[in-house]
Chains A and B, each alone.
Chain A
Amino acid sequence: MSERSDVLTARRTRAQLRPLPTEVRSGGKAADRSRRRPRGGGIGQGAVILVLTAIAVVALFPYLFMFMTSFKTNRQFNDSYWIPTWPLELENYSTAWHQIQPYFITSILVALAAIAGTVALSSLAGFLFARYEFVGRGVLYGMIVMLMMVPPVASLIPMFVLMRDLGLLNTMTVLILPHIASSVVLATILMRTFVAQIPQELFDAARIDGAGGPRMFRSLVLPLSMPIIGTVSLLTVIGVWNDFFWPLLVITEDKLRTIPVGLAFFKGQNATEWGPLFAGYTLASLPLLLLFTFLSKYFLAGVQGGLPGTGK
């Protein structure tokens, strides 16, 4: 409200005193005021908060409903659909855990292996591309960047045939290797950019102290690259937790299913047992939610295609 009168005053001032912009600019009070309310405008703060809250409630309601229902028996679900009930049916969680536990373990193992592979390959490649001059550097790097343009679905069919020919269907390998191959592309680009920005003085100092390439990689590049390694790892985990078609097609053995495909089958088995079903969904969401809670900055960087520092 006061904001509006501000604007009004400003407009009047401007109309009356054309040649006085310096005063407006240098006037301590004016600058002070504008700093306090940098981007107001005609809308009241209360209304803004109200609308944002409404949007947030609408967006989160399905998940809250899922969480609430995960503690209900079928009877509680039918009797009081919209409200939480007592007592909490914790049984749902043990039922669900019992069924999705293998998917969980597989997903975590696949994620860990994929992270290890991706980080190892991309950090080394990033270091070499960023810090060494060699014949074919541009071409080789270009070949990696080019892969950013190959959509994952496009290689689904030939990759499946390849894996079948290699006799790798229904193994951990068939889950892990393609993940490394797809996440290593962006990871290498990110690592190279990052390592290229490490000040040259550090490398010179290390060289003077007698460090060779491997030593510089181990004691200089790796420790300094931890933030980007974190981003890369998160990207890989998110990838494993969201990849659907590949595990769906290459895995038929139940205990090798990853979370996404496992949940789809889990749903098939529990048709309308909403309590255990939603308990399972909740459990499956936990790892990413935890990562989001504690590493939200890297998480966002991951979502935005690995551009750390975007957003506050």
Chain B
Amino acid sequence: MVSPVAERPAAAPTPKSKRAAPPKRHFPWFVYVGLLPLFALLGLLAYYPAFSGVYHSFFDWRPGFDSPFVGLDNYREMLADDLWWDSFKNLGYIFVVSVTVMWFFPLLAAELVISLRSERLQFAFRTILIVPLAFPGVVTVLVWSFIFDPNDGMLNQALDAVGLGSLAHNWVGDPATALAALLVIGFPWVASLPFLVFLTALQNIPKEVFEAAALDGCGRWRRVISIDLPLMAAQMKLLFFLATISVLQFGFAAYLVTGGGPDNATQVPVLRMISIAFQGSDWGYAATLSTTLFVITALLSGVLTLIRRKENSDVRAL
């Protein structure tokens, strides 16, 4: 997304302008000096940890002591780790919900906002709807954990107030509802990237398309199905992959609200990895788990980049 834009203006003028020495190879030492601090920092805190993680996943890593090479033992252990794979099952649920229900409301809201005639109202609603994004994630999660509180929580109080007290429940303490409760956090999820992307996409559809559709007698629902959704296919694909990647990082809400419990009902890979490292002190195995997450994410990002590149060329071809 970035490089094609950047490439053109940067590459074109250089031959014409008379900076550096034109004919011989460009070795401006000051450029390398200027980039040195950046790469020093990245080397220490980005490249090295990534490599160290992969490297040590083949060792019985005991930081500070000697760490014997154990080959693929850690990976074998991972294959037999039921808790680890169960945590991926939870991720599966989280993923399905996050690309269905969690898209429905943003899409609905975006369609409604775009249906407003007054530009001013459009702007006002868009702004109000995304206000929750301005709250720190921790605050949102903690407030929702209060909503689920068995005694004082808003949910049980509300049920009580309308005479449904019998339905009151320890929502996050019951393995049957804990994961669902975690997913409800942030309902109706309109203050989210999907909403902004849908809205921008809809706003960018040329008016003529809608006018032509209206002339052909296309109703509002028909328009959503036959025009809006197909035209947003590219954005949907993008969001879909972003969702897979962000779901893999899911963990902090679970840590705060349920701690992965009860009975591992909300266990997710990130929490499992952290508990293996910090409670189990099994650093080599933790490195294996983190390498696995890393590889999965990198593969998905690779696919994402390919998709984006193809999209760009599609756009230009039109």
Residues of A whose CB lies within 8 Å of any CB of B are: 6-7, 10-11, 14, 24, 34, 36-43, 45, 48-49, 51-52, 55-56, 58-60, 62-63, 65-66, 77, 81-82, 121-122, 124-125, 128-135, 140-141, 143-145, 147-162, 164-165, 177-178, 180-182, 184-185, 188-190, 192-193, 196-198, 200, 203-204, 207, 213, 241-242, 244-245, 249, 259-260, 263-264, 267, 272, 274, 278, 281, 284-285, 288-289, 291-293, 296, 299-300, 303-304, 310-312
Tell me the B residues contacting A by CB distance below 8 Å: 2-3, 5-14, 17-20, 25-28, 30-32, 34-35, 37-39, 41-42, 44-50, 52-53, 56, 61, 63-64, 105, 108-109, 112-117, 121, 123, 125-140, 142-144, 146-147, 151-152, 154, 157, 161, 187-188, 190-191, 193, 196-197, 199-200, 203, 207, 210-211, 214-217, 219-221, 223, 245, 248-249, 251-252, 255-256, 270, 273-274, 277-278, 283, 286-287, 290-291, 293-294, 297-298, 301-302, 305
Contact call A296/B143, Cβ cutoff below 8 A: no
* Bound Cα distance A204, B215 (Å): 52
> Complex: how many Å from CA A161 to CA B278?
11
CB-CB < 8 A to A242: which residues of B? 136-138
CB distance from A210 to the nearest CB of B (A): 13
* B116 smallest CB distance to A (angstroms): 6
Chain A: minimal CB distance from B298 (Å): 5
Residues on the A chain within 8 Å of B130, using CB: 300
Q: Which of A24, A51, A177, A263 contacts B142 (CB 8 A)?
A: A263
Given A134-B31, A153-B293, A155-B50, the answer on whether A66 and B126 have CB atoms closer than 8 Å is no
On whether A304 and B6 interact (CB within 8 A), knowing A48-B115, A132-B19, A244-B252, the answer reads no
Give the distance to chain B from A288, nearest Cβ to Cβ, in Å. 5
Which of A124, A140, A153 has the most B CB atoms < 10 Å from its CB?
Answer: A153
Cα separation A129 to B49 with both chains bound (whole Å): 25
Q: Mind listing 12 A-B residue pairs with CB under 8 Å?
A: A11-B216, A56-B125, A58-B188, A63-B135, A66-B143, A154-B50, A155-B50, A200-B9, A242-B138, A244-B256, A260-B137, A263-B138
Contact status of A158 and B287, CB under 8 A, knowing A56-B129, A151-B249, A165-B63: yes
Q: Which residue of A lies closest to B146 (CB)?
A: A274
**Known A43-B220, A303-B133; contact A156-B290, beta-carbon cutoff 8 A:** yes
- Residue numbers in B under 8 Å from A272 (CB-CB): 151-152
Residue of chain A at shortest CB distance from B145? A267
B290 and A10 contact, CB distance less than 8 A: no
Q: 19 other contacts beyond A188-B38, A272-B152, with CB at 8 A cut-off? A: A39-B114, A52-B125, A55-B188, A60-B132, A82-B161, A121-B38, A132-B31, A133-B11, A134-B32, A149-B297, A149-B301, A150-B50, A158-B52, A197-B5, A207-B18, A249-B278, A281-B142, A303-B193, A310-B200
Instruction: Indicate the member of B34, B63, B249, B286 with the most A CB atoms within 10 Å.
Output: B34
CB contacts (< 8 Å) of A149 on chain B: these are 297-298, 301-302, 305
Judge whether A59 and B115 touch: CB under 8 Å.
no
Q: Are B138 and A62 in contact (CB under 8 A)?
A: no
A58 lies within 8 A of B270 (CB): no
In the docked arrangement, what's the CA distance between A189 and B139, Å?
30
Residues of B contacting A48 with CB < 8 Å?
A: 112, 115-116
Give min CB distance, A287 to chain B, whole Å.
Answer: 9
Question: Which one of A41, A124, A165, A311 contacts B200 once the chains associate, using CB atoms below 8 Å?
Answer: A311
Considering the complex, give the chain B residue whose CB is closest to the CB of A160.
B277
Which residue on chain B has the smallest CB distance to residue A6? B214
In the complex, which residues of chain B have a beta carbon less than 8 angstroms from the beta carbon of A184?
Answer: 38, 41-42
- Give the CA-CA distance A11 to B131 in the complex, in Å: 41
